[in-house]
Structure 1
């Protein structure tokens, strides 16, 4: 399902700051060489992530789901001096590509990439995060949310991607995939959490913005 009409996307891109040359090349290489390139954050969402990071000026960011590194680069752009972004991905085959672009972006000292299961790695990170971006396996969102919550500073943010899951969340339950049902369950969990306030932003494939209250 096309959630956002193509004409609207084109208009939005026209009046959004353009991709850098590096991000444009990363975008192109992903579509040429990597499976499921639609998983890339892309121009509009990437610029949104960059602006959020610049607004928050975080010291510590956690990203769950690196893919080819596009979103990590965008998020790392707003880090404070000495800030670090931890990014976790289960697929080691894309690690070299990610590290190559991180280095070219001048972010090798700011981005620490971890390969393995996010649920295992999160518990080993002794950090307090200002911002967490969840863009990993959909069935794991609720678990990741629970795992990271106590590691987020009061007033910190969680961004959860793909909560509309290609529009399947709008379908009748009998037509929804397991991933779509997982997204609905996750959104309901957050909505019922009195420790948080949230906004479901209809950007790209749905982005849930969550703020830790207190």
Structure 2
């Protein structure tokens, strides 16, 4: 994931709003006690997600891939009064950890945390979403996108994480693994989809930001 200069990244972080005390604690807790802690959004990406959410002022947010709950709390910072964030994850082992931090946040009553397969849960959702964040298994990114786009309002946004995949999207053919190929396909299809306007940002591991037209 460290394909951006550490010095540049550190400079960006030092000129970005700090995390809240709760998010700092969750950050440390994740790195100390959870496998694959680099999956956590962290300060820079977290503040970006919060900024986007505060710009959109969503009534409904959907997150696919909760992990330990860091990004959900960041996204919830932009919810309007009475707004709701649904976050879905298949890993029940992290349920108690994430729920613990949700309950300590200012958004405890607004976060609807569901454990299960997102491919099965998304079709059951009847809400129209203003903002969707995809940060789950890469193999199914296209499937998530195809399921989510009809559920986003016109003018609404989808953000997909890890679309640069530690720079592996630049690898030569023959060396490409299934996850990398899935992301290459996702990036290409989104870029060619005339139903959306998109920009790929080299923030952390790459964020594809798209707006439904």
Aligned residues: 213
1:59–1:130: 8 Å Cα contact kept in structure 2? yes
Query: 1:51 and 1:191 mapped to 2: Cα distance?
Result: 24
Shift of 1:107: 1.4
1:88–1:113: 8 Å Cα contact kept in structure 2? yes
**Residue 2 (1) aligns with residue 2 (2):** yes
Q: Which residue of 1 aligns with 2:184?
A: 184
Query: 1:193 and 1:17 mapped to 2: Cα distance?
Result: 34
Comparing 56-65 with 98-107, greater Cα deviation is found at: 98-107
Shift of 1:3: 1.7
Cα RMSD, aligned residues only: 0.8
Residues 61-95 of structure 1 deviation map (CA, whole Å, 9 limit, x = unaligned) = 00000000000000000000000000000001101
Residues 47-69 of structure 1 deviation map (CA, whole Å, 9 limit, x = unaligned) = 00000000000000000000000
**Residue 88 (1) aligns with residue 77 (2):** no
Alignment of 1:49-198 (within 5 A): 49-198=49-198
Shift of 1:150: 1.0
Query: 1:75 and 1:67 mapped to 2: Cα distance?
Result: 14
2:22 aligned counterpart, secondary structure? helix
1:168–1:175: 8 Å Cα contact kept in structure 2? no
1:133–1:158: 8 Å Cα contact kept in structure 2? yes
Q: Which runs of 5+ in 2 are unaligned?
A: none
Q: Which residue of 1 aligns with 2:15?
A: 15
Question: TM-score, normalising length from structure 2?
Answer: 0.98
Question: TM-score, normalising length from structure 1?
Answer: 0.98
Query: 2:100 and 2:65 mapped to 1: Cα distance?
Result: 17
Alignment of 1:29-40 (within 5 A): 29-40=29-40
1:60–1:79: 8 Å Cα contact kept in structure 2? yes
Query: 1:16 and 1:197 mapped to 2: Cα distance?
Result: 27
